[in-house]
Amino acid sequence: MRWLKGLILAIILLVVLLVGILFAVNNQQALPLNLVWIELPAASLSVWLLASLTVGVLLGMLAMSGVYLRLRTLLTRAQRHNQQQRKELDRLRVQELKELP
């Protein structure tokens, strides 16, 4: 089953790669990117779109890092609490066994 998942993932990755190559080949016209405050030099459309995708992914990761760190802290705290509860439960079980005649 694991190899099937890997095969499907490889096929999907290959299709995405081929579509990306076709996109880059078909969009070779150079154009400058005019932002409101600055005009960037001319580059192909595929370069600008890939750059915007990269910037968007990085900004998304940055935005989610706060949520990730908060959830990671809560998980660590819950695991520590769970471990303390298990120790107490084990201690009470041993104590109960000692009290039996």
**Structure confidence by residue, pLDDT tens digits, 15-69:** 988 888 888 788 778 888 888 888 888 888 878 888 888 999 999 999 999 999 9
Query: Do 28 and 43 meet the contact criterion of CB atoms below 8 Å apart?
Result: no
- Scan for tokens 């968007």, then name that residue: 56
The pLDDT assigned to 101 comes to: 66
Contacts of residue 33, defined as CB under 8 A and 6 or more positions apart, other chains included, come to 39, 40, 43, 48
pTM above 0.75, yes or no: no
Query: Do 23 and 46 meet the contact criterion of CB atoms below 8 Å apart?
Result: yes
What would the mean pLDDT of 58-82 be, rounded to a whole number? 95
Query: Do 31 and 42 meet the contact criterion of CB atoms below 8 Å apart?
Result: yes
